[in-house]
């Protein structure tokens, strides 16, 4: 199986006044294509910093990060932006939808940046919305949708570019428990369809849906284990 993510001797330090904060001390990590992974840790564990690096929103102080054969740690900001749009489908806790745009327009957005023609954008966005069960809501704006439906729009937007990885940051954080179960079932479906999915969470019950759980503590990997009995 091909490694989609390879991280070697990764470190990220921040200077706050005269103090050096070692958010990530040293991490080695490989994630294979079509894995379903939870990245766990309490506040201050380094999981958000690691997520930002994996998502090409930040670069490491030290070490090597290779994403789908691109050595990300050495790229310029412009190159990083291009990689983010092409290789990564982001899903956020707060959905991050444009309030005045329809579900269809929100899902088409990454394709606008990618320079895809309008006809092709619409076709791909409709397919993505159908995949998340929202074919009948394409012309609704976010305020006309429930929380779960908004998150489904965000999932469709993440899928529309056929990215190498789906990176979801606390994707159920703003949802009630019944809707959270629905959204996690959707992620399981996306994974079954061949996508590599990484869920960043501090919730144990959410992590249990995934097939591998990586726990961070104090900027290092505390444990990395296969989940033998994922929640179905």
Distance of CA 221 to the CA centre of its chain: 19
| pLDDT, tens digit, 9 for 90 and up, residues 78-102 | 888 888 888 999 998 888 899 999 9
Please give the share of the chain, as a percent, with pLDDT higher than 70: 100
CA–CA separation, 168 vs 39, rounded Å? 10
Q: Go through 34-47 and write b for each residue having 16 or more CB atoms within 10 A of its CB, e for each that does not.
A: bbbbbbbbeeebbb
Check which CATH number belongs to the domain holding 107 and give it.
Answer: 3.40.50.300
Q: Is residue 52 part of a domain?
A: yes
Residue 232, pLDDT score: 85
Q: pTM of the entire structure?
A: 0.91
* Domain carrying residue 172: 35-60+79-226
| pLDDT, tens digit, 9 for 90 and up, residues 191-221 | 998 999 999 999 999 999 999 999 999 999 9
Q: Is residue 50 part of a domain?
A: yes
Please tell me the total count of domains within the chain.
1
Which position has the higher pLDDT, 2 or 55?
55
pLDDT at 1 over 80: no
CA–CA separation, 216 vs 218, rounded Å? 7
Residue 187, pLDDT score: 93
Q: Is residue 220 part of a domain?
A: yes
Q: Is residue 182 part of a domain?
A: yes
CA-wise closest residue to 173 among 231, 96, 88, 226: 96
Q: Is residue 68 part of a domain?
A: no
Please give the share of the chain, as a percent, with pLDDT higher than 90: 76
Phi, psi of 128 (to 5 degrees): -65, -40
Residue 75, pLDDT score: 85
Residue 106, pLDDT score: 95
- Beta carbons of 222 and 215 less than 8 angstroms apart: yes
pLDDT at 115 over 90: no
Which position has the higher pLDDT, 110 or 141?
141
Q: What's the whole-number average pLDDT of the chain?
A: 92
Q: Is residue 136 part of a domain?
A: yes
Is the Cα torsion angle 103, 177, 173, 186 positive or negative in sign? negative
Residue 77, pLDDT score: 86
| Sheet of strand 212-217, all strands in order from the earlier edge strand to the far edge | 88-91, 165-169, 196-201, 36-40, 212-217, 220-226
pLDDT at 222 over 80: yes
Q: Is residue 8 part of a domain?
A: no
Q: Is residue 29 part of a domain?
A: no
| pLDDT, tens digit, 9 for 90 and up, residues 123-177 | 999 999 998 999 999 999 999 999 999 999 999 999 998 898 999 999 898 889 9
- 181 CB-near residues (< 8 Å, 6+ apart): none
> Cα–Cα–Cα angle for 72, 77, 81, nearest 5°?
80
């Amino acid at each position: 199986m091909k490694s989609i993510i390879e991280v070697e001797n990764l470190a990220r330090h921040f200077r706050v006044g005269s103090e050096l904060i070692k958010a990530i001390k040293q991490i080695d990590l490989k994630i294979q294509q079509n894995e379903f992974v939870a990245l766990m840790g309490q506040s201050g564990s380094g999981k958000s910093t690691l997520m930002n690096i994996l998502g090409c929103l930040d670069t490491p102080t030290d070490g090597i990060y290779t994403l789908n054969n691109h050595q990300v740690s050495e790229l310029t900001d412009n190159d990083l932006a291009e990689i983010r749009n092409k290789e990564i489908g982001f899903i956020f806790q707060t959905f991050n939808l444009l309030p005045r745009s329809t579900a269809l327009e929100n899902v088409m957005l990454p394709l606008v940046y990618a320079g895809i023609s309008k006809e092709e954008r619409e076709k791909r966005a409709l397919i993505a919305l159908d995949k998340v069960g929202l074919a009948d809501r394409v012309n609704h704006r976010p305020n006309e949708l429930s929380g779960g439906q908004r998150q489904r729009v965000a999932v469709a937007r993440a899928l529309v570019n056929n990215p190498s990885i789906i990176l979801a940051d606390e994707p159920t954080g703003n949802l009630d428990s019944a809707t959270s179960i629905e959204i996690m079932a959707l992620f399981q479906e996306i994974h079954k369809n061949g996508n590599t999915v990484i869920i960043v969470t501090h919730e144990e019950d959410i992590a249990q849906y995934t097939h591998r759980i990586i726990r961070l503590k104090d900027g290092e990997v505390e444990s990395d284990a296969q989940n033998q009995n994922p929640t179905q």
